Structure 1
């Protein structure tokens, strides 16, 4: 089949590319630029440009079977700083993407939503897909709206879809010097000998998933006989910031200095996903635990020249 991966040169997207290729399919990537940490892959068609370029979308979407939308321009924090940009760059562009997909007879769309921000503060743990959605950030609100519009396009135009709500992905090729991805950013601080800033007392606990495990689930959703479904993908385990720090100390063998900051109001404090539906329908399993995942990520980070 012919896959089109939006954001295929990003952290998550690059692993989706690997997974799709390993299963024998053709891949086209649409992204604003090349991958940051590796050279272009032989056999992949790369198209560079913005998803708000209508002409480029029409040209790139032709003769594709599966569309995987893994682009997001904001985080829970940054979305609240510029709500208008969050809506325009994510929601409005997503609606146009779905429209162009329908016009080009794409068979199925896989959309990467959020397994934390979309639910808001949980009332039941672990959180099932049926849990209420009450996001407390613009990021979560926009993600939820995109889900609803994807369902709208499926209902009215017949295009198939599955939605993935991932927990917090981490692993090699995630930028350790950016502002997203707690584990990678912490390891980047360790590499540079800098103090790690932690919001609150370190007991904020979330669900983390190693990137290759997430990519495997995304691919499974793209070929599943089940459609019009929403799937949580995570570890189904609470992992606190303090837990992460202890594993980082063990893996790196370094003394990690901490600076505790005031907690953020925009972020959900405790998230743990129920993944039983994905286990049943997609045969999903978490293959990489935190210790192994952090070790693999550190092997990548410690070899980066900065």
Structure 2
């Protein structure tokens, strides 16, 4: 991975219902993410936060069953621009969320830099809903579908092209909560998924080895990591908006990050859904920063 990092905060909380995740970037900075990376020898450029508009009316769905669509679109356009500028300078974009709708902008900013972009989606959820299949209308449950070119045109066309990624280039890890529409899309598109059943049965080491081998076999020329803190069990990451029991442990996720560091395949990453209002003594932000440290090669010895 590049030794030059650009950190971009996205204080977005409009892709979902529960307020507070907009403070996620500040919580991770407070937990020492910049200092931790600098101490590891990285040249870290903190680009501050993307500006988020206030919606005219909160939590109001439009006719397409998409809450706060215009604000989410504008924020992701701004994020895509910042990410693209960072990659143009040959810097590794590290995005701090914010809810998971910001992955739309992250992928829009990096996807046109690669011919065969891979994605590791480390998450309890598939985030493969559309306005037609979503029970809630929350856009944070749609970014992976949007990046596949499936969904509202104002979302899929951010960055000026669609799709951003191919379904066969995606690996979902840690899934344990999928809506019916998402299950159908996974089957239809043949998306590679390691649920918690596979993690429990085969172990994280085996799952990550299989995921990395899979991405190598399809010859990806760049890999984006999208890590939602709700992939972790709520005991280890209580400060998330949509906790689901039975997730990965903090130690298992550390191992996954360490294996990604050793593989040296990542070209961009984001850590999302840290909600300090729902947290306990900033534990979830501190967990995220610890995982970021491991992702970028931090070792005990």
TM-score (norm 1): 0.33
Higher RCO (CA-CA < 8 Å; seq separation 6+): 2
TM-score (norm 2): 0.34
